[in-house]
Amino acid sequence: MVAFPPVKINLGLNITAKYADNFHAIESVFYPVGWTDVLEVIQTDNQGFNLELSGLTIPGTISKNLIFKAYEILKKHYSLPGYNFHLHKILPMGAGLGGGSSDGTVALQLMNEVSNLGISEKKMQEYALQLGSDCSFFLQKKPMFVTGRGEILAPIQVDLTGWYIVIAMPPVSISTAEAYSWITPLQPQKSIQEIISMPIEQWRDQLKNDFEKHAIEHFPVIGEIKNKMYEMGATYSSMSGSGASVYGLFKKKPPLFQLEGMQTWEGKL
């Protein structure tokens, strides 16, 4: 069975508080985008887990991969067969797009389906949350207003259908821990929910990502990409998540966007 784990972009991102356990409270809108990895699973008679990788090189050991962690979570609760997974990695890592979270969440869904485990929607959400704070979003197929650590989801009316998007990932790496170390949490004067309801033309001066200013200070290329998006005619552009990818939203198909040393993708929402 083959699936295509997608990414998300952040439409605004506020860091509003820091919890006692050093996690942070956020406010954001996650919007699904059709840039995907390719994930295949084959059920086997021999118990155990195997993961083959192709495409982009994924750092770290298999034991740290969220696909393996998804298997470990289900193994605690179900008598599982063996699985051979093959992940063709297309999505950039450390991009603020949630590619790894998406892979792990889709792996949960694939094992449930191919092995007829009968996992309820509520249980699936619990297992996804064990993978990571943003993983439960990838069980949804629609925009969500996100609060808490990223696990509290509420539907929100925002429709970018027909808009073109360009995503560019520069050759820099920003760890999530590093990004949060730059931030002093602050309650925003205006909620992202309120800003999202405005015409997209007004987002440029209103819809902010708290990580972006500091990321640009450390990695000026991020600001250069954002400026390039606007030069190309973007109505709105922002860094996604904790970075380092930058996306632009365009009313019409933009000119071919290529920057040396960067991974780029464009499509219609």
Separation of alpha carbons 214 and 226, rounded Å = 14
Torsion over CA: 120, 128, 167, 13 (sign): positive
| Structure-token pair, residue 20 | 């006692």
Q: Are 250 and 166 in contact (CB under 8 A)?
A: yes
Separation of alpha carbons 153 and 127, rounded Å = 15
Told to judge if 208 belongs to the known catalytic residues of this protein, a careful annotator would answer no
Which residue among the candidates 8, 89, 208, 226 is catalytic per the annotation?
Answer: 8
Q: For residues 151, 132, 92 and 48, what is the CA-based torsion angle, rounded to 10 degrees?
A: -140
Which residue among the candidates 69, 134, 208, 226 is catalytic per the annotation?
Answer: 134
Told to judge if 134 belongs to the known catalytic residues of this protein, a careful annotator would answer yes
Question: Quick one: which H or E segment has residue 221?
Answer: helix 220-231
Torsion over CA: 98, 251, 229, 198 (sign): negative
The pair phi, psi for residue 87, each rounded to 5°, is -110, 120
| Structure-token pair, residue 245 | 């990818």
Question: Quick one: which H or E segment has residue 266?
Answer: strand 263-268
CA distances from 216 to 51, 174, 179, 244 (A): 36, 11, 11, 9
The pair phi, psi for residue 20, each rounded to 5°, is -65, -25
* Catalytically annotated residues: 8, 134
